[in-house]
Amino acid sequence: MDPQDRYISLAEVPALYPFSIGTVYNLIRDGEIKALKIGRKSIVARSEVESYIARNARPLELKGSKGVAA
């Protein structure tokens, strides 16, 4: 991974991942992901967001779907 891509601003998270900015702040507040404050800017490691997604992802289940007929 390019070192410049390792950290992103909190505002960039919703552009790259399926979270609103409010959800990003809630995840940080609840300790689900860790953020860093550098001067006036807050950043998060991409790996933090991706780890959260991996820990909380579950298969999509569609109602009435019992499987695909062959």
Per residue in 36-67, pLDDT (tens digit) is: 999 999 999 999 999 999 999 988 888 876 65
Which of these CATH numbers, 1.10.1660, 1.10.260, 1.10.10, 3.40.720, describes 3-56? 1.10.10
Q: Work out the average pLDDT over 29-33.
A: 97
Residue 67 confidence (pLDDT): 59
Return the sign of the alpha-carbon dihedral for residues 29, 33, 34, 36.
Answer: negative
Residue 1 has pLDDT above 60, yes or no: no
Please state, in angstroms and rounded to a whole number, the distance separating the CA atoms of residues 48 and 29.
14
Torsion angles phi and psi, residue 41, rounded to 5: -105, 135
Number of H helices, E strands in the chain: 3, 3
Q: Work out the average pLDDT over 12-19.
A: 94
Residue 63 confidence (pLDDT): 86
